[in-house]
Structure 1
Amino acid sequence: MNFRFQNLLGAPYRGGNAVVTESSTLLSAVGNRVASTDLVKSQTLTLPFEASTNLSRLAASPDGHFLLAVDDAGRIYYVNLRRRVVLHSMTLKGPASALRFSPDGALFAVAVGRRVQVWRSPGFRREFFPFERVHELRPCPGDVTAIDWSPDSAYLLVGSKDLTVRLFCLKSCEGSKKPYLFLGHRESIVGVFFAKGEKNDKVSRVHTISKDGAIFTWKVDESQRLDDSNRMDSDPPSPGTPERTPGVNNNEISEECEKSSRKRRILGDDNGGLLDGEREILLHRMKWELVKKDFFMQTPAKLTACDYHRELDMVVVGFSNGIFGLYQMPDFVCIHLLSISREKITTAVFNQLGNWLVFGCAKLGQLLVWEWRSESYILKQQGHYFDVNCLEYSPDSQMLATGADDNKVKVWTVSSGFCFVTFSEHTNAVTAVHFMPNSHSLLSASLDGTVRAWDLFRYRNFRTFTTPSPRQFVSLASDVSGEVICAGTLDSFEIFVWSMKTGRLLDVLSGHEGPVHGLMFSPTNAVLVSSSWDKTVRLWDVFDGKGAVETFRHLHDVLTVVYRPDGKQIACSTLDGQIHFWDPIDGLLMYTIEGRRDIAGGRLMTDRRSAAKSSSGKYFTTLCYSADGSYILAGGNSKYVCMYDIAEQVLIRRFQITRNLSLDGVLDFLNSKRMTDAGPVDLIDDENDDINEGVDRQTRVKLGGELPGSLPNQGRPVVRTKCLKIAPTGRSWAAATTEGVILYSIDDSFMFDPTDLDIDVTPEAVNEALLAEQPQRALLLSLRLNEDSLIKECIFAVKPLDIRAVSSSIPFKYMQRLIEVLAHLLESCPHLEFILQWCQDLCEAHGHSIQQNSRSLLPSLRSLQKAITKIHEDLSDICSSNEYMLQYLCSTGEKTR
């Protein structure tokens, strides 16, 4: 039962900025989590920590070891990327609009409203409050939109909505001085950058970019210096804003300023407070001149994202019409001007080397990494931008198929987390997906009235199943052989049966009086089970054509039905929150589990009653058996997924799928302080064009009305689980939730769980048996001790000629554990032939026992099958690409003989 969060699929990008670290790792916000994509190894994973609300800003340290993440509530998290844990956290006074580390990594600046605060980066030591505020700069008249550090971490450029850019000096005593002001833009500032100067060790240029597509280039005039009496900054401080710098000792600063000014008067120095031996120019005291104005000429589109690479002296910009441009500065030469989509580009950044460009489109859930020199894609991922309705594991557990309200079917590689194919031929929401037994083809059902078969080798739709009159399909199943396809309808309450080979309609099963939302074939025979809102579960003999052979009646609507993996039990959930277990052979009710109290939890913003007294959502809409059939997973319109022991009829564990307060239905008790006369504050529609609307704020009206899965509550999605599936190996399970597809897997960390412990069963006894060259005794002792490292060591201690003898002497009660270890070794060990010999001899020695106890060994056998299938695919690809080399080596080997 040791399932832990593993990954989040289906939503690679949700908005905010993206970050590329020094190690070519792409970090992006996915709801209240952070997705980490290794662009070199082509693997993606989601960091296990959760923020309180959706993340809005990310910043990585220069060495790529640490991450700063700020959510919509102003909570800032300091994360160790290597350990994937949160080291420190604190709460700001509001949401952050800009966030950036200093080049030396010692400081970071964060913009909150009109203020910019500079903090010292926390260390590894334990402290009561690890964040130390070094500076709080003078507040700007408008909200801050962009910040940038100088290469020496001494200056800070700040752009705001008041159309101005300010240059602050962070040196001692200079932080309290007025900043230098850059004027001339006609719209709010989007980006500010210290540009590459004539000498690399010296800052002499600044680029400022505004929302109307204008880029200004400023250059310092070293011949002129501004005195305090002749400052260009004429804007007065805000009313009530003190001149003293908060967060630092102002008395010490004033004393230090007096000492430095007295020293300047004594020495007669006129270089801005510097000694005669110092030649450094204080940039905020020099005069800057506007040397060039350039325009991107994309009117009426607005500039929404930009980034600057200092070493290459290049600027990349993205616009609201989906166009991006790459320009060489300072000559403003256009290198690329291309269109990604028709939606707004919400992030555009360089990687550290400057050869890759990262683009994100929040509305489409799209994330691209593009190499601009070769004009090729490094990464192209797009998640479902509407709710995921269904999912299915492939029989070998290596792939995962999903269908959603965006009319698309996506197939993901579970190990890497990447989507490798997208099918978009459906014209309406996809409601069910199903893998064929050979894993080479996939079926999908949709509300557009079609069932389509997809070829996973050629990536094409090779067969389409339709009905004489249009129908809306909501459930799908195929028999064990894959010859018969069945689909249940939403409107006519019928079940249609087709032939997979010919595509012809074979039969129409009638009898239900409500939508057929549950449909599944028995894993062992050709019996079809269906569930409907007419309060019945029916068994059908499809091949004999006798219609319904058995009917199980209930007191409430039946929402879903599933078969146990051995086909000897049926589970169905009803509208009253109960799970009923039936014997399909004898037609008897075996167990009933009451789950209303278990799944209850979470109050919607529009609810008039508390979560405990509300009756809505207290039922299960999806069920899934464990691989051995001993447990069942159940989920519904709740933040919980419940796991039950079927024989004992008790709740074993509840998984809370999210703690994101940006979703509705997560809190059990609402905060009365956020209630107004017009209703909850979160539901008041406050339009703001500067907010990047992501996939969590899609339009609520689709297909002429609000569908189940659309977003009520002013674009505030409701937490729910629409589908649950467990991998055939039993090592992981997936849930189609509001935030995407969440994967849980069994934690591989060591857990001491001995099988047959005795006083003589110790690691020392295992080592003594190995030294005495008794591999059989050593293996039995390690299996009894059940320690993973010792079992593997004993397996490798057996000679290849003795494998058959040792395999036949192992008791059957240790068989499952030994098969699991062999499956893990196949995935991680280079000695393939040796491990495969173990598998073959073990199956030959215990074949009859394995067949008789197939139900208990099914998860471990599926894990072994998955590992062997993956090795076969990898070797076949290698051999096919090196066919002629292998032929040559074989021919030379024969000649040498």
Structure 2
Amino acid sequence: MNYRFQNLLGAPYRGGEAVIHNNTLLITPISNRVSVTNLLSSQTRTLPFQSSSPIVHLAVSPNSPFLFAVDSNHRSFLIHIPSSSLLHRLSLTHPVSSARFSPDGKLIAVAAGKFIQIWRVPGFKREFFAFELVRTIAGFAGDVTVLDWSPDSVYVVGGSKDLSARLFCIKRLKGRLNQPYLFVGHRERVVGCFFGVDKRSGRVNRVYTIARDGYLFSFGYKGYEKRDDDGEGDGEDAMEPGTPERDDEKGDVDQNLRKRKHVDAKDDGDSNAVEEEEYLHKGNWELLRKDGFMQSGARVSSCDYHRVLDMLVVGFTNGVFGLYQMPDFVCIHLLSISKEKITTARFNELGNWLVLGSAKLGQLLVWEWKSESYILKQQGHYFDVNSLAYSPDSQLLATGADDNKVKVKSGPCPRDFALSRFSEHTNAVTALHFMTNNNCLLSASLDGTVRAWDLLRYRNFRTFTTPSSRQFVSLTADQSGEIICAGTLDSFEIFVWSMKTGRLLDILSGHEGPVHGLMFSPTNAILASSSWDKSVRLWDVFEAKGTVETFTHTHDVLTVVYRPDGKQLASSTLDGLIHFWDPIDGVLMYTIEGRRDIAGGRLATDRRSAANSSSGKCFTTLCYSADGSYILAGGSSKYICLYDVAEQVLLRRFQTTLNTSLDGVLDFLNSKNMTDAGPLDLIDDDDSDKEEGITHQVYGDLGQNLPGALQNRGRPIIRTKSLKIAPTGRSFAAATTEGVLIYSIDDSFIFDPTDLDIDVTPEAVDAALTEGDTRKALILSLRLNDDSSIKRCVFSVKPSDIPSLAPLIPFKYLQRLIEAFADLLESCPHLEFMLRWCQEICKAHGHSIQQNSRNLLPALKSLQKSITRMHQDLADTCASNEYTLRYLCTAGSGMAAKQAVTTSEAPL
């Protein structure tokens, strides 16, 4: 029962900043989670923490593995990337538009409303309030949109909606020297501002500001000149010369300058460097040039600057991005990736890769501009995932969605990179089914076709159709793979085809409602179907006898599944009940009432709490475990329920999301958010989402203009459309509104406190290995449950010692050891050594394994899968070698015969 969240697949990019850490890790926001993609190994993992609203801003520390994430409700999180652990939380009082770590990694600047807040970055130690507010910078007339740090972490430049940018020194200086420098001239709000550095001296010499209208201003620094009127100005801050306050202030500043010059003179002998850096914002700046990007009708939506390469990347609302060499403004590349707005454009640390994302398309690209090639081109299912299917060996996971596409991913816990993508369907894909040979996948669609896909050649080799167009919503095949059946939504019929010929064999009629559930019995050729006509029917397809048995229900039947042994049938109805039938005797065995268990949150339009709502309290998808003792159930709710079939009790509930921006997550109605016009969340009085595409465009514009519908900003309703448990039993997949959630019991390090003492340590394992006591070392590593130590101890055993060591292993550690064997068979080349281990374990513990096969079944299936896969690889290699030897022998005999004939014909 120890399933835990492992990964999130199929969720498209919906906006927010994307960053690259250590030049290899691409970090992107995925709804209210954060996804980390290794660009070298092409693996994706989703961090286990969740926010209560979508993540929109990310910042990575340059010299430490810290990630600063901010959601749309201006709550921020500090995350340790290697351990995927959440260290600290921080709630800000204003909406956040940008966040950046300082180059030294000690501070972080946050653009919150009309202020820039400077926070000290906390460490690993536990503190009551870890974040320390160093300074709050004010002075903007509009909300701050962007900001940037100087290389020495002393200055911050911020752009605002007031059409200007300001340069601040984060250190507190006295008098007018602490006032910011103002960069003006733009006609629209500033969307980018960056510090430019002189490559020879390494000092700041330029400031670039970019406005939304597509103009770039370059300001040059001319140095600091101490003037007598430094303290003069208009307003209350201006003081006349000779006043005590001004003299004291001037004396303090001069004393500060003398101290700074004295310190720097010892360091590098240059006393003017500190003066120029310390009072950079009071120097002489001038506008050097104005440049336009010349994108007619398009505006700048994102930009980034690489200080070392002195290069600028700019993304536009028309899908075009440009790469420019500064300060001469030379265009290197000007390309179009789509027709939709580019919501993020970032450099990596080396500057050779560009991260480009489009929230409207759900697309994320990593492009190497020197070689003009893609490092990553990722696009999830744009609409909801409807169906899932595991291959019989658990090595492939197929997903079908409303975007008419079928994607196949690899592994029982896939890493979100599709092996293949099929897009021949012209309407939503509603059902998937793997054939028993693992090389064929079936898909049903609302376009009226059932297609068969060859996973070796990646092509559609057969299409099953009907005489008149139908909409298919369910799909199955018998164990032999000869018969294909699909249920319809509109004609209430079941169509039967031959897999070999593709011909339509039969049409099963009798249902009076849509056939949403189909499944063949695992042990015979009996087909079970469920319909909204409140019945489950059993059909004998091969004998053509029609309906064999009919199970009548009191409410609409939503789905039906067989237990893996074929001796039990489970069906769910609209009233929230799960019925368990004996398909042989045709009697109802028992019933589980799950209305209270599946009851989820309330909708935004509901006038009552979730407990008093009657909608959505039913199961729409069911799935048995590998041994048939448990059943997973999901529906229009944020919960997935796990039941014990024999005891009819709820064992565990999995909450799929905490994202309150989805409908059906909140349980109670907050009267503070109610107005005369309806719920406050549904009143859209802000058009900034059309301009920026960040805050409110997380899920697109679905449902915005439906006639007669309440304008709810297109908020999707959380639901689970499909559930599938891997045949190994080690993981299960759930197709939800946010994507495909993978829950697994692998990689879980759970310790038994009663089996640990002060002597069970990694050092004790090393000491036992040094002494040659491999039995003690193996037992200690199993008690520690450390994967690397277990594998190291397994390989330290001599092959001749395996028969004597296998009977000495306690049975309670057997499952963990078998899991290690299954993992090692996937990667290590020592096949004979591992098979010797498996053979001796079966000899020594065969009786115990047989008696406890129910508990060991997932581990044994994983081991069987690894051995079968290795056997197939060896069989292919041996067959290839056999054919090669036959060819060589045939060719050799032919050459010998030819030489003999030549010799006999030669003249004596």
TM-score, structure 2 length as denominator?
Answer: 0.86
Q: Give 1:634-653 correspondences, 5 Å limit.
A: 634-653=633-652
Q: Distance in 1 between matches of 2:464 and 2:183?
A: 65
Question: 2:167 aligns to what SS in structure 1?
Answer: strand
Paired letter, 2:250: S
Shift of 1:577: 0.4
Deviates most, 841-850 or 328-337: 841-850
Query: Offset at 1:852?
Result: 11
Contact 1:5/1:48 (CA < 8 Å) preserved in 2?
yes
How many angstroms apart in 1 are the aligned matches of 2:878 and 2:230?
Answer: 78
Secondary structure of the corresponding residue to residue 713 of structure 1: coil
Give me the whole-angstrom Cα distance separating, in 1, the residues matched to 2:397 and 2:214.
43
The answer to whether the Cα contact below 8 Å between 1:209 and 1:216 also exists between their aligned partners in 2 is: yes
* Residues 198 and 204 in structure 1, CA contact (< 8 A), matched pair in contact too: no
Cα deviation digits, residues 638-664 of structure 1 (max 9, x gap): 111111111011011111111111112
Match of 1:170 in 2: 170
For residue 34 of structure 2, what is the aligned residue in structure 1? 34
CA contact 1:27–1:35 (8 Å) conserved in 2: yes
**In structure 1, C-alpha distance between the alignment counterparts of 2:156 and 2:738, rounded to whole Å:** 37
What SS is found at the alignment partner of 1:158? strand
Native 8 Å contact 2:526 2:540 kept in 1? yes
Q: Does the 8 A contact of 2:387 with 2:735 survive in 1?
A: yes
1:151 positional shift: 0.4
Whichever residue aligns with residue 15 of structure 1, its letter is: G
User: Deviation per CA, 1:42-80, whole angstroms, max 9, x where unpaired?
Assistant: 111000111121111110001241011111111111111
Q: Deviation digits for residues 110-137 of structure 1, max 9, x if unmatched?
A: 0111111111111222222111111111
**Alignment partner for residue 289 of structure 2, among 288, 292, 298?**
292
What is the rounded CA distance, in whole Å, between the counterparts of 1:715 and 1:273 in structure 2? Answer: 63
Deviation for aligned residue 1:192? 0.6
Matched, 1:45 2:42: no
Residues 474, 517 of structure 1: 8 Å contact kept: yes
Cα drift, residue 699 of structure 1: 3.3
Contact 2:12 2:382 in 1 (8 A): no
Q: Is the contact between residue 63 and residue 104 of structure 2 (CA under 8 Å) also seen in structure 1? A: no
Gapped regions of structure 1 (runs ≥ 5):
238-242, 244-254, 888-897
Which residue does the alignment assign to 1:214? 215
Match of 1:342 in 2: 339
CA pair 290-773 structure 1, distance change in 2 beyond 3 A: closer
Change (3 A) 1:149 1:873: farther
Deviation at 1:263, TM superposition (A): 4.1
Shift of 1:14: 2.2
Matched, 1:526 2:515: no
Structure 2 CA distance for aligned equivalents of residues 50 and 67 of structure 1: 14
Q: How do 1:724-743 and structure 2 match up within 5 A?
A: 724-743=723-742
State the alpha-carbon separation in 1 of the partners of residues 245 and 578 from structure 2: 75
Cα displacement (A) at 1:832: 3.2
1:388 is matched with which residue: 385, 389, 393? 385
Instruction: Report the Cα offset of residue 343 of structure 1.
Output: 1.2
AA of the residue aligned to 1:407: N
Structure 2 SS opposite 1:297: coil
Distance 2:393 2:675 in 1: 54
Number of aligned positions between the proteins:
862
Which range moved further: 835-844 or 267-276? 267-276
Residue deviations 1:243-300, cap 9 Å, x none? Answer: 9xxxxxxxxxxx9998552245789999999999444312211121111111111111
Question: Which of 235, 256, 262 is equivalent to 2:251?
Answer: 262
1:618 is matched with 617
SS at match of 1:866: helix
> CA shift at 1:886, angstroms?
14
- The structural deviation recorded for 1:430 is 0.9
Q: Which residue of 1 aligns with 2:448?
A: 449
The alpha carbon displacement at 1:733 in A equals 0.8
Q: Structure 1 residues 796, 201: CA separation in 2 closer, same or farther (over 3 Å shift)?
A: closer
The AA in structure 2 aligned to 1:54 is P
CA distance in 2, matches of 1:298, 1:587: 71
Q: Relative to structure 1, is the Cα distance of residues 814 and 171 closer, same or farther in structure 2, using a 3 angstrom cutoff?
A: closer
Tell me the CA shift for residue 369 of structure 1. Answer: 0.6
SS in structure 2 at match of 1:838: helix
Spell out the pairing of 1:578-589 with structure 2 (5 A cutoff). Answer: 578-589=577-588
- CA distance in 2: counterparts of 1:775 and 1:395, whole angstroms: 37
Structure 1 residue identity aligned to 2:380 = G
**Structure 1's 788 and 268: CA in aligned 2 closer, same or farther, altered over 3 A?**
closer
Distance in 1 of aligned mates of 2:423 and 2:592: 40
Q: Distance in 1 between matches of 2:191 and 2:467?
A: 56
Aligned to 2:893: none
Aligned positions of 1:829-844 closer than 5 A: 829=828, 831-839=830-838
User: Which residue number in structure 2 is paired with residue 480 of structure 1?
Assistant: 479
Q: Which one is further off, 681-690 or 298-307? A: 681-690
Counterpart of 2:428 in structure 1: which amino acid? A
Task: Quote the offset at 1:416 in angstroms.
Answer: 2.8
Q: Give me the whole-angstrom Cα distance separating, in 1, the residues matched to 2:263 and 2:181.
A: 19
1:814 & 1:39 partners in 2: Cα distance?
37
**Residue 690 of structure 1 aligns to a residue in which SS?**
helix
CA contact (8 A) 1:22 1:63 kept: no
Aligned counterpart, 2:889:
none
The CA distance in 2 between the partners of 1:183 and 1:782, in whole Å, is 66
Structure 2: state its 5+ residue gaps.
238-243, 266-270, 887-908
Contact preservation (8 Å) 1:711, 1:717: no
Q: Give the aligned residue type for 2:188.
A: E
Q: What is the DSSP-based 3-state SS (H/G/I as helix, E as strand, rest coil) of the residue aligned with 2:824?
A: helix
User: What is the deviation of 1:787?
Assistant: 9.6
Shift of 1:589: 1.2
- 1:368-447, aligned counterparts within 5 Å? 368-413=365-410, 414-447=413-446
Offset at residue 457 of structure 1 (A): 2.2
- Counterpart CA distance in 2 for 1:367 and 1:287 is 42
- The correspondence of residues 403-802 of structure 1 with structure 2, limited to 5 A, is 403-413=400-410, 414-686=413-685, 687-688=687-688, 689-692=690-693, 696-701=698-703, 713-746=712-745, 748-751=747-750, 799-800=798-799
Q: Using the aligned pairs only, state the percent identity.
A: 66
- Provide closer, same or farther for how the CA distance between residues 385 and 273 of structure 1 changes in structure 2, counting only shifts above 3 A: farther
Cα distance, 1:846 vs structure 2: 9.2
Amino acid at match of 1:472: Q
Give, in angstroms, the shift of residue 726 of structure 1. Answer: 0.8
Residue 201, structure 1, aligned to residue 190, structure 2: no
More moved, 538-547 vs 834-843: 834-843
Q: TM-score, normalised by structure 1?
A: 0.87
CA distance in 1, matches of 2:668, 2:300: 41
1:204-353 pair list within 5 angstroms: 204-222=205-223, 261-263=250-252, 277-279=271-273, 280-281=275-276, 282-353=279-350
User: C-alpha root-mean-square deviation of aligned residues, in Å?
Assistant: 4.2
Distance 1:763 1:317 in 2: 52
Amino acid at match of 1:261: K
Letter aligned with residue 343 of structure 1: E
After superposition, residues 12-23 of structure 1 pair within 5 angstroms as 12-23=12-23
**Alignment check: 8 A CA contact 1:137 1:175 kept:** no
- CA gap of 1:480–1:768, structure 2 versus 1, over 3 A, is farther
User: Structure 1 residues 776, 113: CA separation in 2 closer, same or farther (over 3 Å shift)?
Assistant: closer
TM-superposition CA deviations, 1:594-638 (whole Å, max 9, x none): 000111131111112221111111111111111111111111111
Change in CA separation of 1:814 and 1:71 when aligned onto 2, cut-off 3 Å: closer
Shift in alpha-carbon separation, 1:790–1:608, aligned structure 2, 3 A: same
Following superposition, the deviation at residue 94 of structure 1 comes to 2.3
1:426 maps to a residue whose letter is H
The structure-2 alpha-carbon separation of the partners of 1:334 and 1:554, relative to structure 1 and needing over 3 Å to count, comes to same
Question: Kindly tell me: are residues 257 and 612 of structure 1, through their superposed partners in 2, closer, same or farther at Cα, counting changes over 3 Å?
Answer: farther
Closer, same or farther in 2 for the Cα pair 1:476/1:844, shift >3 Å? Answer: farther
C-alpha displacement of 1:204: 0.5
For the 8 Å contact 2:224–2:282, the answer to whether it is kept is: no
1:135–1:175 Cα contact (<8 Å) kept: no
CA contact (8 A) 2:143 2:161 kept: yes
Q: Deviations for 1:181-207, whole angstroms, at most 9, x for unmatched residues?
A: 111112211111101325342110111
